[in-house]
Structure 1
């Protein structure tokens, strides 16, 4: 491991061992305990190893973590706004101790790094959410991740990287900090302004970056995140193809495109400071910081989590320490009379007509196959996105029925399956709860943990069916809201639709219909943890459709589902 001091960005930590040392470390690691890295940890490890997270030399120990959470600084006082931690299970934490060496592996079991354990502790994740993200609201994706996906114990320590994670996509665009700095040096780029993005770029973005580069008298680096972004974002494969089209719109030799394998936290102001430090490490001298930079949008109450300029304010307060200058985002709008774009603060709205398409409106037009005007998006970019996001009538989707045992969900699901197969046009698969239990989850019991795992398995299969343009019909009880939310995320992340149908038949009616006698056994204490009796059912708060089958025939219920699918644009009943 060496400290490189290249001509751009200051000291760069390179935590990779030389080839001979890496081979020896790999041989020795055969006897070490191993931890398989999660997707987020894999991104973090890559940026630790290649210097993108300089000055960090490993996953944070407790002292660094606690001061970062409270003060945005490492224990030695260095500005650093975001925890970079290795979260592990209680079982694994019980098997290691301070001073142990742990092999960190990718999902295929390949050893990427050796961690020497310095600290093992149980964090207060509620405090972490409140201090780092400014909220404990589950509408913030990082808060949800802390609550539902992160492991309960943190392990800190220095790492020795044997290799970087392997990527097979866009390898010519995956430059490390040292490689990008060298490219800038070779091309004579002394001033470089970075554009952070997790979305496709349209004409307004291009005009914005032109203006920012001109203002900073700098070359431009388009530096999109291709690690983990906000759930529901456009996949990075589609985005990078769009960026490659957009790159042709800039004058030759003025602009570069490189990919950043960052796992975003959507941390708003703190994340903006983090992005500035990372781009400094990559050799940039300037960073465009936009309106609500890296913000997740609204919380579960529909309120904005961060103010529109909170990120710019925080970056400004730490400007002297960052070693990189901020270029504030100036919102660009299309002015009809000028037939071009201009900063909104330079437009006379009394005499000029501002034209705009919001992100919501753009997605609606894409879903419905409507025209996207040339002034908004480049035809090549729109065409690329249409390949990935066809109109809803050609998308796959998941129909997710949930309700108490005996509510009628399986019967309705079967009827809807037959109706859709009768219509044709898409392959249809029914993932009934009992059938899945038999063939996919036969080893699972009925604890909360096992029920969650069963539903997640159903969700995974449904998402793959959806991804490939089919219809997945699921009919489990699925009593827990968080698990249903995870399934929705999987389906929508597969570029398809998710329609939650709450079969809201009352408990009394479900008991009356009880052909298997399960409710009676639960009432008698012969069955433990039975949903609706001694285990709760968390009813959906905002399903796409709610059906009470007490006074509704199967045919009528199925027709309600088909009408809902038509209203959402997934089928056409005419």
Structure 2
């Protein structure tokens, strides 16, 4: 066994493999790290390494080697046959991987700079991410957020090998609600909680969730651990700061002596059935004896054909299949709905015939919050609604981004400047213009015009726009932004903090060439400029733009007015 791991068998959860070393070894590793190649961990990798180091991912001793990765993808097992459904990988750039020799040791750094662990690199391999998507998530469909991440945000090389943990990632928020697996096990033992049921959530809890969790606790004669994910969830979810404030209010509606709230720093994969098995393993490692699996557990929503990725109870079936091997009891629950005539929540299968059922989905909740619509008393608690309203003010008070995209010469900047002038005249929010040429001059002057550099430039624009938006301002962006995937990343970034309105300036190519004041199209046609959008590099037209305009048919003033009217219709501005 590696010196970095300690196998413990506390009263709850079976063997726990922790990868944190003792203080003397940690001091030696910090000294060693000064001379080692260093990798700066991504947000997802920080979440993964925390649960590797604290034992939440027991029995893993580090990031997956190639044999383990292949076995997990194909059969939900490590190479030695141990059940494990989700690949845990350290993805790095080709340049970094190419600088390493077999058996190299590398320092893994937190974004704040401290070294969290030393990894011995036993494997370096290039994954087939399409095959991974099909095997793990059921389809290579980019409507699945994890598949999209695999295809567009994952580095091309995976490193595998054991970890020696120096320290856990720092947390500066809600410290009193954060517990390692060991801490929860010891607390359960101290309190005499020999039977604990875990409730998983990535959304705010409302009355239906409370009723479901209470019933699960009563049915299993178990104490209740409310264990929400506060690492990474589905893009567009309510951020964890807001959710935790809601959980703190909701927990007051549970019996104090039989309920515990603890936060889980997990990066979800939205993997449906496989993820449910993974969640069960993680909760067992935290000392739980039971785990609630509800309807469409960890489901990502609709696929590209408009159908659910997974069946509503597929997750329950898969967990039930492996329940004995998992060593944790599954408590299946179906969807809870509010029956108006009975004035209470009941499982959908128990709804009386012809009874009027009321229900608000997570998607509908987010829509109502963003639109400022009513949330009825039967759905949630007043104090929870108050917390949500504080985070989701009416649209006329929210920040937003207007993101123009189109070919060079399409008229994006001209329309954008008119829209900016009209919004500044309106005067309700500060307005910032992020024009493609200006951003390149001030933020991206070192970048060229390769596909990689153009994507970096657009992400920078998106990041700045997201900061402006979440702080209540208006960002007007006018880059070419030719690639759908990058525009989607920007939309997801911005939408976390406010509104996002994509405006496709669909001026035909021939019109753009006629307006070619800088002679760029002519140079591209002559081969003097390579990878020029619309000539020898594609422009991927938006499929779901909120507004589509064409400057070959209308003036910039007329088209800017279309954008302004759309903003008014959506409630972001009030022209009266």
- What's the TM-score, normalizing by structure 1? 0.98
Using the alignment, how far apart are the partners of 2:411 and 2:334 within structure 1? 54
Task: Give matches, 1:547-566, under 5 Å.
Answer: 547-566=549-568
Q: Which residue of 2 aligns with 1:193?
A: 197
Aligned residue for 2:253, secondary structure, equals: coil
Q: Which residue of 1 aligns with 2:419?
A: 416
Give the count of matched residue pairs: 572
Task: Give matches, 1:221-300, under 5 Å.
Answer: 221-300=225-304
Shift of 1:210: 0.7
> Is contact 1:74–1:80 with CA below 8 Å preserved after alignment?
yes
Aligned residue for 2:489, secondary structure, equals: helix
Shift of 1:393: 1.4
Q: Which residue of 1 aligns with 2:445?
A: 442
Alpha carbon RMSD of aligned pairs, Å?
1.0
> Is contact 1:398–1:474 with CA below 8 Å preserved after alignment?
yes
Asked if 1:506 is matched to 2:512, the reply is no
Shift of 1:522: 1.7
Q: Which residue of 2 aligns with 1:111?
A: 115
Task: Give matches, 1:106-255, under 5 Å.
Answer: 106-255=110-259
Using the alignment, how far apart are the partners of 1:127 and 1:528 within structure 2? 33
Q: Which residue of 1 aligns with 2:59?
A: 55
Q: 2:517 aligns with which of 515, 518, 522?
A: 515
Q: 1:537 aligns with which of 536, 539, 548?
A: 539
Using the alignment, how far apart are the partners of 1:359 and 1:73 within structure 2? 32
Aligned residue for 2:122, secondary structure, equals: strand
Aligned residue for 1:65, secondary structure, equals: helix
Using the alignment, how far apart are the partners of 1:539 and 1:571 within structure 2? 28
Aligned residue for 1:550, secondary structure, equals: coil
Shift of 1:96: 1.1
Q: 2:39 aligns with which of 22, 35, 41?
A: 35
Shift of 1:364: 3.0
Using the alignment, how far apart are the partners of 1:513 and 1:152 within structure 2? 40
Q: Structure 1 pair 406/140, CA: closer, same or farther in 2 (3 Å)?
A: same
Shift of 1:528: 1.8
Q: Which residue of 2 aligns with 1:427?
A: 430
> Is contact 1:268–1:295 with CA below 8 Å preserved after alignment?
yes
Deviations 1:396-418 (A, max 9, x none): 11100011111111000000000
**Unmatched segments (≥5 aa) in structure 1:** none
Aligned residue for 1:314, secondary structure, equals: helix
Shift of 1:98: 2.3
Shift of 1:347: 1.7
Shift of 1:515: 1.7
Shift of 1:20: 1.1
Using the alignment, how far apart are the partners of 1:96 and 1:528 within structure 2? 33
Q: Which residue of 2 aligns with 1:21?
A: 25
Using the alignment, how far apart are the partners of 1:558 and 1:141 within structure 2? 33
Using the alignment, how far apart are the partners of 2:272 and 2:471 within structure 1? 34
Asked if 1:330 is matched to 2:367, the reply is no
Shift of 1:108: 2.2
Shift of 1:369: 2.2
**Structure 1 segments (4+ residues) deviating >6 Å:** none
Using the alignment, how far apart are the partners of 2:429 and 2:33 within structure 1? 49
Shift of 1:97: 2.2
Shift of 1:573: 2.3
> Is contact 2:203–2:362 with CA below 8 Å preserved after alignment?
no
Aligned residue for 2:225, secondary structure, equals: strand
Q: Which residue of 2 aligns with 1:480?
A: 483
> Is contact 1:503–1:548 with CA below 8 Å preserved after alignment?
yes
Q: Which residue of 2 aligns with 1:93?
A: 97
More moved, 90-99 vs 498-507: 90-99
Q: Which residue of 2 aligns with 1:380?
A: 383
Q: Which residue of 1 aligns with 2:14?
A: 10
Aligned residue for 1:297, secondary structure, equals: coil
Asked if 1:456 is matched to 2:459, the reply is yes
Task: Give matches, 1:76-91, under 5 Å.
Answer: 76-91=80-95
Shift of 1:355: 1.8
Shift of 1:359: 2.8
